[in-house]
Amino acid sequence: MSEVERIWLKSYPKGVPADIDLSEYRSLKDIIESSCRKFSGLTAYSNFGKTMSYAELDQASAAFGAWLQHEAGFSKGDRVAIMMPNIMQYPIAVFGTLRAGCVAVNVNPMYTPRELEHQLTDSGAKGLVVVENFAHTAQQVVGRTSVERIITTQIGDRLGFPKRQITNFVIKRVKKMVPEWTLPGAVSFDDVLASGRNRSLDHVNLDHSDLAFLQYTGGTTGVAKGAMLSHGNMVANVLQSAAWICNNTNEGEDRVITALPLYHIFSLTANCLTFMKMGGENVLITNPRDFDGFVKELAAKPFTGFTGVNTLFNALVSHPEFGNVDFSELKLTLGGGMAVQRSVAEKWMSITKRTLVEAYGLTETSPAACINPMDLKEFNGAIGLPISSTEVSIRDDDGNRLPLGEIGEICISGPQVMQGYWQREEATAEVMTADGALRTGDMGRMDEDGFVYLTDRKKDMILVSGFNVYPNELEDVLCQHPDILEAAAVGVPDDKSGEAIKVFIVSTNPALDRDAVRAHCRENMTAYKVPKHVAFMEELPKSNVGKILRRELRDAESA
């Protein structure tokens, strides 16, 4: 890329480099081990009031990795699925997996058996780490997958005595949040670490080309695809993110609120990895939907960073106690995953006296591609500037670059762009331009200062609270109901979630009602994919070849 083409460089904040030095680290393993040595005495993670230092993280993740190598017999490149919320076992398992040379496969713990089976089967995962709350889901499908070793844990297992015993008792016996399960041969997380401590973690040579994560994302076909994120992709994005926010942080002094799930690429890279590189503390919020408890956690101790999505910020600014939180040390509030609404950003500013800065990225870009300057005085409506070593171009359907100000598809080039979709060469080819840029499927424009603005989505994807919902998958599940002949799903505006799902159904049974439709969806899909609105129709609009015309349904809703 030429300097002429990179007009955004003139808008860069002072100290942000045009390019990052990718040779600084060979792999994420190098970053993890370097940070654990450099910041050994500092707190790496905290959860429910319990802390874990970088030295403790180093020892525990090494033990986990040694168990994978010596007890499980896993080799470089083997996939390990990790299915848990934000608890301290997560970074231990992920970092241990990476240090052993294995590939981490992040799994949403709220998946239904159908969704979990697809991801385990498609990835060829040999190992599964699962919190007991979700073990009953795994029980239903692991026998039909390639999983050989299963590790189970309880929410409170790393909280120490007596908080561990109390937490696990309340979750299991009082709140009854752990359905009965049986997984023959499963071993406990504690036993894994105890056994691994008696072994040495073998060194594994890793470089930029080696696979680090299979990060699953949906597609317009409705089939979840594994984005192949290499160590090079992830190292690049950690360095890019760190370079961008370095002026607003101090090594070893940051305390970032981690409420978004770490299995989501935004939180994984921004919080789990980038703040770890800088010696920061991740405050893990296990259940951010408990807003009373969440706000109490925020009020317990000042924090310097906060990442989230629009719906999370919106819920917080609406909470009666949020204004009593101490924001005196807050330096960075970063919004991503979905568009930040101006009204929410303005409420955030009025309460915290800090700007909510918007960023943009995708699973396929590890994820950061654009970030606004951290020193913005007010919300600007842009998704940011292309970050270091990144080129953003706006193109037409034929891949031609469009002039400044014109709306087209946002395309991204840079070292953080994925290697491709796991075992899906055709799907990979569909999203890449002839010159190697990633087609995002998002429509936008760039102004004369290099700021990028998101205007619309080219794909039919629906974005619910930062999570992708793909109509084909939803329609496929709906049509498995014996009383549903045809179905179409579209996104409609929603004040709380940005978009909500509305489905249009042609039924063969006049007695079928909305509650039955939603119940069927809940049985087969995770909660955010369940439609909020259900409409019944005599017939759906179709093209002359019989393709259902979702756009006509959307246009009718808009009208």
**CA-CA distance, 227 to 296, in Å (whole number)?**
37
CA 281 to CA 264: how far, in whole Å? 18
Q: Is 384 helix (H, G, I), strand (E, B) or coil?
A: strand
**Which residues lie below 8 Å from residue 269, measured CB to CB, with a gap of 6+?**
234, 237, 238, 241, 366, 367, 368
> Which pLDDT does position 101 carry in this prediction?
98
* pLDDT at residue 127, as a whole number: 98
Q: What DSSP string runs through 288-338?
A: TT-HHHHHHHHHHS--SEEEE-HHHHHHHHTSTTGGGS--TT--EEEE-SS
Phi, psi angle pair for 422, to nearest 5°: -55, 115
Residue 286 near residue 115 (C-beta atoms within 8 A)? no
**C-alpha–C-alpha distance, residues 487 and 479, integer Å:** 7
Distance CA 58, CA 449 (A): 43
> Residues near 142 by Cβ (< 8 Å), separated by ≥ 6?
120, 128, 150, 183
> Which H or E run contains 169?
helix 163-169
Conformation bin of residue 147: beta by default, left when phi > 0, alpha when psi is -120 to 50: beta
pLDDT in tens, the chain (559 residues): 434 489 999 999 999 999 999 999 999 999 999 999 999 999 999 999 999 999 999 999 999 999 999 999 999 999 999 999 999 999 999 999 999 999 999 999 999 999 999 999 999 999 999 999 999 999 999 999 999 999 999 999 999 999 999 999 999 999 999 999 999 999 999 999 999 999 999 999 999 999 999 999 864 345 789 999 999 999 999 999 999 987 777 889 999 999 999 999 999 999 999 999 999 999 999 999 899 999 999 999 999 999 998 888 988 999 999 999 999 999 999 999 877 888 889 999 999 999 999 999 999 999 999 999 999 999 999 999 999 999 999 999 899 999 999 989 999 999 999 999 999 999 999 999 999 999 999 888 999 999 999 876 676 788 899 888 888 789 889 988 999 988 999 999 999 999 999 999 999 999 999 999 999 999 999 999 999 999 999 999 986 545 688 889 998 988 8
* Cα separations in angstroms, 6 against 3, 16, 18, 109, 449: 5, 14, 9, 41, 10
- pTM summary value: 0.88
Cα-based angle 136, 500, 357 (whole degrees, multiple of 5): 95
Q: Using CA atoms, how far apart are residues 278 and 276, in angstroms rounded to an integer?
A: 5
Beta bridge mates, 444: 408, 454
- pLDDT of res. 324: 96
3-state secondary structure of 438: strand
Structure-block tokens of residue 506:
């042609």
Question: Both ends of the chain: CA-CA distance in Å?
Answer: 43
What pLDDT score does 546 carry? Answer: 56
